[in-house]
């Protein structure tokens, strides 16, 4: 076990279709880790930087400017490249943990499966954007399309959610297909049931990641050198 491996932070992603409970669970997971003295940064994609939030507004909150499907894919990846290089990479180096709401699987599903851009192109763009920074745990929340629609019933749809029924069907199909065939670090987690039930399922997986980090620190330092620091959630 290299010292750098023991001291670097861990990168956790929560992904899944609209209304799967990602944002709800990111907050709960961050709180759970913070209780244990882990410094956590919560991020969302697209976003997490000033540029990323400006791109997010363009991609999600406006309906007047037409965005071509390939241009849309590039915009998501531009926000990602900026986030990785400006925030995620440096934070992991400092030993902080990152919890990110959506990541590369969303791009493959929304812009590839649903948006019609070749999956190979999406994967190449993602690979360039992540610059070698890979998640340690990638939780994919699953739920039936009907539950997603019900959960989002009392809020207005964003630009991506307004792309119609076929698009939404392809999104669900994309997540189901991809999460079935992916092994570690991907972990399919049932997003149905109460918030607390889903939280427990996620925690049972992440707790193992935390335990592994603590024991690797012990091996390197001969002591559990866990730094207790103030925690900051930035969204």
Ligand X SMILES: Nc1ncnc2c1ncn2[C@@H]1O[C@H](COP(=O)(O)OP(=O)(O)OP(=O)(O)O)[C@@H](O)[C@H]1O
Residues that bind ligand X (CB under 6 A): 18-24, 151, 193-195, 198
Bridge partners (DSSP) listed for residue 44: 101
Q: Cβ closer to Mg ion: 6 or 106?
A: 106
Nearer to ligand X, 26 or 125 (CB): 26
Stretch that binds Mg ion, among 21-29, 75-83, 169-177, 226-234 (CB under 5 A): 21-29
Q: How far is the CB of 45 from Mg ion (least distance, A)?
A: 10
CB of 18 to Mg ion, least distance (A): 8
Token digits of residue 106: 């969303």
28 in contact with Mg ion (CB under 5 A):
no
Q: Which does 18 bind (CB under 5 to 8 A by kind): Mg ion, ligand X, none?
A: ligand X
The closest alpha carbon to 205, from 180, 188, 227, belongs to 188
DSSP string, 176-225: HHHHHH--TTEEEEE--S-HHHHHHHHHHHHHHHHHHHHHHHHHHHSS--
Nearest to Mg ion of 23, 216 (CB atom): 23
Instruction: Give the DSSP letter string of 144-182.
Output: -HHHHHHHTTTS---TTTTS-HHHHHHHHHHHHHHHHH-
Note whether 23 binds Mg ion by CB under 5 A: yes
CB of 165 to Mg ion, least distance (A): 21
Q: In what order do the strands lie in the sheet with 186-190?
A: 40-44, 97-101, 11-15, 137-142, 186-190
Task: Choose the stretch contacting Mg ion; rule: CB under 5 A; options: 18-26, 55-63, 148-156, 204-212.
Answer: 18-26
Query: In the bound complex, what is the minimum distance in angstroms from residue 46's beta carbon to Mg ion?
Result: 12
User: Please, which residue, 21 or 112, has the CB nearer to ligand X?
Assistant: 21
Nearer to Mg ion, 24 or 111 (CB): 24
User: What is the distance between the alpha carbons of residues 149 and 69, in angstroms, rounded to a whole number?
Assistant: 24
Cα(49)–Cα(234) distance, rounded to whole angstroms? 10
Report the alpha-carbon distance of residue 194 to residue 196 in Å, rounded.
5
Q: Are strands 11-15 and 97-101 parallel, antiparallel or unpaired?
A: parallel
Q: How far is the CB of 101 from ligand X (least distance, A)?
A: 6
Task: Say which entry of Mg ion, ligand X, none residue 213 contacts (CB below 5 to 8 A, set by partner kind).
Answer: none
The residue (of 22 and 217) whose beta carbon lies closer to ligand X is 22
Q: Least distance to ligand X from the beta carbon of 19, Å? A: 4
Q: Which residues bind Mg ion (CB under 5 A)?
A: 22-23
């Amino acid at each position: 076990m290299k010292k750098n491996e023991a001291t670097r932070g861990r990168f956790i992603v929560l992904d899944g279709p609209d209304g799967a409970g990602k944002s709800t669970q990111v907050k709960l997971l961050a709180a759970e880790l913070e209780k244990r003295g882990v410094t956590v940064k919560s991020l969302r994609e697209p976003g997490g930087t000033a540029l990323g939030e400006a791109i997010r507004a363009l991609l999600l909150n406006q309906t007047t400017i037409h965005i071509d499907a390939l241009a849309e894919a590039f915009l998501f990846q531009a926000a990602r490249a900026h986030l990785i290089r400006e925030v995620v990479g440096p934070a992991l180096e400092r030993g902080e943990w990152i919890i990110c709401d959506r990541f590369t699987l969303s791009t493959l599903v929304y812009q590839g499966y649903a948006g019609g851009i070749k999956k190979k192109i999406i994967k190449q763009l993602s690979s360039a954007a992540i610059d070698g920074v890979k998640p340690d745990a990638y939780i994919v929340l699953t739920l039936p399309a009907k539950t997603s629609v019900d959960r989002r019933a009392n809020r207005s749809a964003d630009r991506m959610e307004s792309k119609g029924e076929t698009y939404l069907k392809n999104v669900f199909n994309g997540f189901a297909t991809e999460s079935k065939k992916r092994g570690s670090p991907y972990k399919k987690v049932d997003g149905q049931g109460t918030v607390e039930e889903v939280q427990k399922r996620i925690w049972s997986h992440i707790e193992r990641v935390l335990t592994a980090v603590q024991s690797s620190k012990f091996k390197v330092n001969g002591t559990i050198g866990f730094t207790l620091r103030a925690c900051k959630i930035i969204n």
